[in-house]
């Protein structure tokens, strides 16, 4: 292992972002992907998805470091596994204001993920597709990776697994010692919310979350609802396994992580009264909108996070312009399902509602639009025309895409 600079776990929050000198020196600028032979391909579409198999049935699994074990989607279990398991009813909570009914499989399940072989008799079966869409057949938590090192390369969409950190090339990385709080792995961040509010503390690393969010407790203590003037309120029926969730999106001034400074990052603060975003044992969640700007290695044995900027480090942060949130259920439900809306957005004013089904965009059936095109092409257009179906029938909605905030 190469010698690494170990950082203090204390982050000083009032230091302003430096000019681009240190950032440019530490950022990997190459545009030519160098993918190692032992790499495991992933799909990155705000979630990290890798192929695995359950009792020899292949599926697509979300790599979720905000969870500690294996979860299976209920649709995947009922339509793909073709096996009757002993189970008992349970309930689970997470992001969201309520709990979700679930089943706990008590029979042994064999899960294979690349060279990892895992056997467990306590696997939770829950409705995961309603949160993340058709690509998600289950999720892989940190228990499956215990004692190993997980490398995540967001920029070129692969992961690697090592037996120990000495087997990995750590050149150019900085390292943060993580803290474990209630089975969550946390790192210290400093977020300059506004000129007079800076939040310092431990944030949960959550690769199962597309965005980054401050807890309700921390938001209330810092009076963010009144102190942040430019913000937008959102509400969703499927914020996480806990169902309904709400909060506010905004641009913070800066975010400091491991000595690196991100300018104008998009953040949220929660208004949930229940679930993990209502807690006060940590400051919030750091999700993929921040993590995707780094090459990352998780050393679960030593509880260390290795981090270095990648080619997307200086990519501008942009809030979505649609004014609503959706999941791609084109395979199982014949369309994109609206799961939440931005208050006072064009979408809300034109009458879009949670559970509406979008069947085409600008004349293209949604089942013909890949997950890559949903990100790349939509960032380039200025006007959208949706064909929407719901219990009242079919209608067309058309509007210009403008910055929501």
Model confidence pLDDT, tens digit, residues 67-78: 888 999 999 999
Contact 135, 329 (CB under 8 A): no
Q: What is the DSSP letter of 78?
A: I
Q: How confident is the model at residue 20 (pLDDT cuts 50, 70, 90)?
A: very low
Give the percent of the chain with pLDDT over 90: 63
Question: In angstroms, how far is CA 108 from the centroid of its own chain?
Answer: 29
pLDDT at residue number 92: 63
Kindly state the tokens that stand for 151.
């490398």
Examine the pLDDT at 119 and tell me if it is beyond 90: no
What's the confidence (pLDDT) of residue 11? 27
Q: Which of 75-84, 153-162, 342-351 is predicted with the least confidence, judged by mean pLDDT?
A: 75-84
Residue 120 has pLDDT above 90, yes or no: no
**Comparing 29 with 156, which gets the higher pLDDT?**
156
> Residue 198 and residue 14: Cα distance in Å, rounded?
7
Q: What integer is the mean pLDDT of 239-264?
A: 88
For residue 223, what pLDDT band results from cuts at 50, 70 and 90? Answer: very high
The arithmetic mean of pLDDT across residues 110-124, rounded, is 85
Q: How confident is the model at residue 7 (pLDDT cuts 50, 70, 90)?
A: very low
Least confident of 51-60, 273-282, 384-393: 273-282
Going along the chain from its start, the domains and CATH numbers come out as 324-400 (2.30.42.10)
Cβ atoms of 233 and 247 closer than 8 Å: yes
Whether residue 242 has pLDDT greater than 70:
no
Closest CA to 237 of 152, 124, 338, 164: 338
Q: What is the mean pLDDT of residues 205-230?
A: 94
DSSP state of 345: -
Is the pLDDT reported for residue 178 higher than 70?
Answer: yes
Per-residue pLDDT band for 376 (boundaries 50, 70, 90) equals: low
pLDDT over threshold 70, residue 117: yes
Question: Across the chain, what does the average pLDDT equal?
Answer: 86
**Signed CA dihedral, 267, 49, 30, 171: sign only:** positive
- Model confidence over 283-333: pLDDT tens digits? 999 999 999 999 999 999 999 999 999 999 999 998 888 999 999 999 999
pLDDT at 256 over 90: yes
pLDDT bucket at 15, cuts 50 / 70 / 90: very low
Residues near 38 by Cβ (< 8 Å), separated by ≥ 6?
160
Evaluate whether 236 touches 246 at the Cβ level (below 8 Å): yes
| Selected residue with higher pLDDT from 95 and 121 | 121
Compute the distance between CA of residue 325 and CA of residue 330 in angstroms, rounded to an integer: 15
Task: Report, as an integer, the average pLDDT of 152-166.
Answer: 95
Question: Is residue 236 predicted with pLDDT exceeding 60?
Answer: yes
More confident residue, 29 or 220: 220
Per-residue pLDDT at 8? 22
Residue pLDDT, tens place only, 85-101:
888 877 666 556 666 67
pLDDT score recorded for residue 98: 61
Q: Where are the beta strands (DSSP E) in 195-293?
A: 197-205, 213-214, 232-240, 243-251, 254-257, 260-263, 266-270, 284-286
Q: What is the mean pLDDT of residues 4-28?
A: 36
- Greater model confidence, 96 or 235: 235
Q: How many Å is the Cα radius of gyration of the chain?
A: 21
């Amino acid at each position: 292992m190469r010698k690494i600079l170990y950082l203090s776990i204390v982050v000083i929050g009032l230091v302003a972002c430096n000019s681009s000198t240190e950032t440019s020196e530490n950022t990997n600028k190459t545009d030519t992907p160098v993918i190692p032979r032992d790499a495991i391909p992933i799909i990155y579409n705000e979630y990290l998805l890798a192929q695995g198999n359950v009792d020899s049935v292949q599926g697509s699994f979300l790599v979720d470091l905000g969870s500690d074990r294996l979860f299976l989607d209920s649709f995947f279990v009922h339509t793909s596994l073709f096996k009757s398991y002993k189970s008992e009813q349970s309930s689970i909570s997470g992001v969201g204001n309520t709990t979700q009914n679930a089943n706990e499989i008590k029979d042994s399940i064999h899960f294979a993920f690349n060279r990892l072989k895992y056997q467990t008799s306590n696997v939770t079966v829950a409705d995961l597709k309603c949160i993340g869409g058709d690509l998600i057949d289950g999720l892989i938590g940190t228990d499956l990776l215990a004692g190993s090192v997980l490398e995540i390369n967001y920029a070129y969409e692969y992961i690697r697994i090592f037996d120990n950190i000495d087997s990995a090339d750590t050149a150019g990385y900085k390292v943060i010692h993580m803290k474990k709080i209630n089975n969550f792995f946390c790192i210290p961040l400093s977020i300059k919310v506004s000129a007079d509010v800076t939040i310092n503390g431990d944030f949960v690393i959550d690769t199962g979350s597309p965005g980054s969010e401050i807890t309700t407790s921390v938001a209330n203590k810092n009076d963010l609802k009144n102190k942040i003037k430019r913000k937008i309120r959102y509400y969703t029926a499927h914020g996480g396994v806990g169902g309904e969730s709400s909060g506010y999106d905004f641009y913070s001034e800066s975010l400091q992580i491991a000595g690196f400074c991100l300018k104008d990052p998009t953040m949220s603060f929660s208004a949930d009264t229940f679930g993990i975003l209502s807690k006060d044992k940590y400051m919030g969640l750091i999700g993929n909108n921040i993590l995707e700007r780094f090459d990352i290695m998780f050393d679960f044995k030593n509880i260390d996070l290795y981090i270095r900027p990648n080619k997307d480090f200086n990519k501008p942060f942009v809030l979505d312009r649609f004014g609503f949130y959706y999941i791609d259920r084109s395979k199982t439900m014949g369309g994109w399902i609206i799961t939440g809306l931005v208050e006072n957005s064009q979408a809300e004013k034109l009458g879009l509602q949670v559970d509406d089904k979008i069947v085409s965009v600008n004349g293209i059936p949604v089942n013909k639009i890949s997950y890559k095109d949903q990100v790349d092409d939509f960032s380039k257009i200025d006007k959208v025309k949706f064909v929407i179906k719901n219990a009242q029938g079919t209608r067309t909605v058309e509007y210009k895409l403008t910055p929501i905030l």
